[in-house]
Structure 1
Amino acid sequence: MTTTITRSLPRLSDGIEADLQHAIPEGICRTFRVMPYVVHEGHVLVAAADADDSITEHVVSERLDRPVILVRHTVNEINEVIDEAYPPVEAEVESPEARRSRMQMAQMLTRSGLVTPEQLQRAMLEHSRTGDPLGDILVSHESISEDVLVAALSEMHQLQRVGLADFEPDYDLSRRLPERLARTLQVVPVAESDGEVFLAVARPLSTDDAVQVEAALGQPFRQLLANRTDLDQLLQRVHSSHYSDTSTQFLMDNFPEQSAHVVFSSVQKAFFVTAAVLLVVAAVIWPTTTAIGIVGVCSFVYFFVSVYKFRLTLRALGTHLETDVTDEEIAALDERTLPVYTILVPLYKEAGIVPRLVRDINALDYPRTRLDVKLLCEEDDDETIAKIKELALPPHFHLVVVPDSQPKTKPKACNYGLQLATGTFTVIFDAEDRPDPDQLKKALIAFDHVPDNVVCVQGKLNHFNQDQNILTSWFANEYSMHFELVLPAMGASESPIPLGGTSNHFKTSILRELGAWDPFNVTEDADLGIRLHREGFRTAMIDSTTLEEANSKVGNWIRQRSRWNKGYFQTWLVHMRHPVQLFRQTGLRGFLSFNLTMGSAFVLLMNPIFWALTTIYVVCQWGFIEDIYPSLIFYAASLMLFVGNFIFIYLNVAGSLQRGEFGLTRTAMLSPLYWGLMSWAAWKGFIQLFTNPFYWEKTEHGLDEG
Structure 2
Amino acid sequence: MTATVQGPGTSTSTGTGTGTRSTPRLVHGTDPEAAALLPEGLARTFRVLPYAVVDGAVLVAAADPADPVVERVVSEHLAQPADRPVVLVKHTANEVVAAIDAVHPPVEGRVETPEQRRARTQLATMLTASGLVEPDQLQRALVEHSRTGDPLGDILVAHESIPEDVLVAALSEIHQMQRVGLADFEPDLVLGRRLPEPLAQRLQAVPVAEAEGAVLLAVARPLDAAAVSEVEEAVGSPVRQLLANRTDLDQLIQRVHSAHYAHVATTGLMESHPDSSAHVVVTGTQKAVLVMALVATVVCLVIWPMGTLIGLVGLCSAIYLVVSIYKFRLTLRALGTHLETDVTDAEIAALDERELPTYTILVPLYKEAGIVPRLVRDINALDYPRTRLDVKLLCEEDDTETIETIRSMGLPPHFHLVVVPDSQPKTKPKACNYGLQLSTGSYCVIFDAEDRPDPDQLKKALIAFDRVGPEVVCIQAKLNHFNQDQNLLTAWFANEYSMHFELVLPAMGATEAPIPLGGTSNHFRTSVLRELGAWDPFNVTEDADLGIRLHREGYRTAMIDSTTLEEANSVVPNWIRQRSRWNKGYYQTWLVHMRNPASLLAQTGFRGFMSFNLTMGSAFVLLMNPIFWALTTLYVFTQWGFIQQLFPGIVFYAASAMLFVGNFVFVYLNVAGSLQRGEFGITRTALLSPLYWGLMSWAAWKGFIQLFTNPFYWEKTEHGLDGGHA
TM-score for the superposition, normalised by structure 1: 0.99
Q: Distance in 2 between matches of 1:470 and 1:494?
A: 34
User: Which residue of structure 2 lines up, in the alignment, with residue 43 of structure 1?
Assistant: 57
CA deviations over 1:6-47 (Å, ceiling 9, x no partner): 122111211223431200111000000001122335432210
Which of 493, 508, 521 is matched with 2:511 structurally?
493
Say which is worse superposed, 88-97 or 302-311, in terms of deviation. Answer: 88-97
Name the aligned partner's letter for residue 9 of structure 2: T
User: Which residue of structure 2 lines up, in the alignment, with residue 532 of structure 1?
Assistant: 550
User: Which residue of structure 1 lines up, in the alignment, with residue 40 of structure 2?
Assistant: 26
User: Which residue of structure 1 lines up, in the alignment, with residue 10 of structure 2?
Assistant: 7
Which of 627, 630, 649 is matched with 2:645 structurally?
627
CA shift at 1:671, angstroms?
A: 0.4
SS in 2 for 1:313: helix
SS in 1 for 2:249: helix
- The answer to whether residue 74 in structure 2 is matched with residue 56 in structure 1 is no
User: Which residue of structure 2 lines up, in the alignment, with residue 133 of structure 1?
Assistant: 151
SS in 1 for 2:558: strand
What is the percent sequence identity of the aligned residues?
76
- The answer to whether residue 706 in structure 2 is matched with residue 688 in structure 1 is yes
Structure-to-structure mapping, 1:366-385, within 5 angstroms:
366-385=384-403
User: Which residue of structure 2 lines up, in the alignment, with residue 647 of structure 1?
Assistant: 665
- The answer to whether residue 719 in structure 2 is matched with residue 701 in structure 1 is yes
Which of 523, 529, 547 is matched with 2:565 structurally?
547
Q: Distance in 2 between matches of 1:206 and 1:435?
A: 38
SS in 1 for 2:674: helix
Name the aligned partner's letter for residue 140 of structure 2: R
Structure-to-structure mapping, 1:502-513, within 5 angstroms:
502-513=520-531
SS in 1 for 2:435: helix
Which of 559, 570, 588 is matched with 2:606 structurally?
588
Q: Distance in 2 between matches of 1:619 and 1:283?
A: 27
- The answer to whether residue 271 in structure 2 is matched with residue 253 in structure 1 is yes
Which of 443, 464, 486 is matched with 1:425 structurally?
443
Q: Distance in 1 between matches of 2:109 and 2:426?
A: 45
Q: Distance in 1 between matches of 2:189 and 2:94?
A: 53
Q: Distance in 1 between matches of 2:438 and 2:159?
A: 23
- The answer to whether residue 123 in structure 2 is matched with residue 105 in structure 1 is yes
Q: Distance in 2 between matches of 1:606 and 1:143?
A: 59
Name the aligned partner's letter for residue 544 of structure 2: A
- The answer to whether residue 303 in structure 2 is matched with residue 285 in structure 1 is yes
Q: What is the number of equivalent residue pairs in this alignment?
A: 706
Q: Distance in 2 between matches of 1:167 and 1:484?
A: 51
Name the aligned partner's letter for residue 437 of structure 1: P
Which of 497, 514, 518 is matched with 1:479 structurally?
497
Name the aligned partner's letter for residue 4 of structure 2: T
User: Which residue of structure 2 lines up, in the alignment, with residue 401 of structure 1?
Assistant: 419
Name the aligned partner's letter for residue 22 of structure 1: A
SS in 1 for 2:373: helix
In structure 1, runs of 5+ residues without a counterpart are none
User: Which residue of structure 1 lines up, in the alignment, with residue 625 of structure 2?
Assistant: 607
Runs of 4+ with >3 A deviation = none
CA deviations over 1:532-589 (Å, ceiling 9, x no partner): 0000000000000000000000000000000000000000000000000000000000
SS in 2 for 1:176: coil
User: Which residue of structure 1 lines up, in the alignment, with residue 231 of structure 2?
Assistant: 213
CA shift at 1:127, angstroms?
A: 0.1
Q: Distance in 2 between matches of 1:62 and 1:445?
A: 29
CA shift at 1:67, angstroms?
A: 2.2
User: Which residue of structure 2 lines up, in the alignment, with residue 89 of structure 1?
Assistant: 107
Name the aligned partner's letter for residue 29 of structure 1: A
CA deviations over 1:58-98 (Å, ceiling 9, x no partner): 10111112321211101121112212222221121111111
In structure 2, runs of 5+ residues without a counterpart are 12-22
Q: Distance in 2 between matches of 1:38 and 1:451?
A: 44
CA deviations over 1:89-108 (Å, ceiling 9, x no partner): 11211111111110011001
SS in 1 for 2:88: strand
Say which is worse superposed, 275-284 or 640-649, in terms of deviation. Answer: 275-284
Say which is worse superposed, 602-611 or 81-90, in terms of deviation. Answer: 81-90
Say which is worse superposed, 20-29 or 354-363, in terms of deviation. Answer: 20-29
User: Which residue of structure 1 lines up, in the alignment, with residue 466 of structure 2?
Assistant: 448
User: Which residue of structure 2 lines up, in the alignment, with residue 669 of structure 1?
Assistant: 687
User: Which residue of structure 1 lines up, in the alignment, with residue 16 of structure 2?
Assistant: none
Q: Distance in 1 between matches of 2:115 and 2:675?
A: 58
Q: Distance in 1 between matches of 2:352 and 2:25?
A: 31
Say which is worse superposed, 411-420 or 57-66, in terms of deviation. Answer: 57-66
SS in 1 for 2:133: coil
Say which is worse superposed, 214-223 or 127-136, in terms of deviation. Answer: 214-223
SS in 2 for 1:91: coil
Name the aligned partner's letter for residue 174 of structure 1: G
Which of 356, 362, 375 is matched with 2:380 structurally?
362
CA shift at 1:284, angstroms?
A: 2.0
Q: Distance in 1 between matches of 2:525 and 2:55?
A: 54
Name the aligned partner's letter for residue 198 of structure 1: L
SS in 2 for 1:650: helix
Structure-to-structure mapping, 1:166-181, within 5 angstroms:
166-181=184-199
CA shift at 1:3, angstroms?
A: 2.0
SS in 2 for 1:293: helix
Q: Distance in 1 between matches of 2:637 and 2:99?
A: 90
SS in 1 for 2:391: strand
SS in 1 for 2:109: helix
SS in 1 for 2:426: coil
Q: Distance in 2 between matches of 1:53 and 1:39?
A: 22
Name the aligned partner's letter for residue 63 of structure 2: A
Name the aligned partner's letter for residue 168 of structure 1: E
Which of 260, 276, 283 is matched with 1:242 structurally?
260
SS in 2 for 1:670: helix
SS in 2 for 1:90: coil
Name the aligned partner's letter for residue 676 of structure 1: G
SS in 2 for 1:92: coil
User: Which residue of structure 2 lines up, in the alignment, with residue 202 of structure 1?
Assistant: 220
User: Which residue of structure 1 lines up, in the alignment, with residue 483 of structure 2?
Assistant: 465
TM-score for the superposition, normalised by structure 2: 0.97
Name the aligned partner's letter for residue 607 of structure 2: R
Q: Distance in 2 between matches of 1:246 and 1:11?
A: 64
SS in 2 for 1:615: helix
Which of 419, 422, 428 is matched with 1:410 structurally?
428
Q: Distance in 1 between matches of 2:544 and 2:261?
A: 24
Name the aligned partner's letter for residue 193 of structure 1: A
Q: Distance in 2 between matches of 1:130 and 1:662?
A: 42
Q: Distance in 2 between matches of 1:215 and 1:453?
A: 38
User: Which residue of structure 1 lines up, in the alignment, with residue 366 of structure 2?
Assistant: 348
Q: Distance in 1 between matches of 2:627 and 2:393?
A: 44
CA shift at 1:287, angstroms?
A: 1.2
Q: Distance in 2 between matches of 1:466 and 1:20?
A: 50
Q: Distance in 2 between matches of 1:221 and 1:90?
A: 30
Q: Distance in 2 between matches of 1:605 and 1:657?
A: 29
CA deviations over 1:119-171 (Å, ceiling 9, x no partner): 00000000000000000000000000000000000000010000000000111
User: Which residue of structure 1 lines up, in the alignment, with residue 180 of structure 2?
Assistant: 162
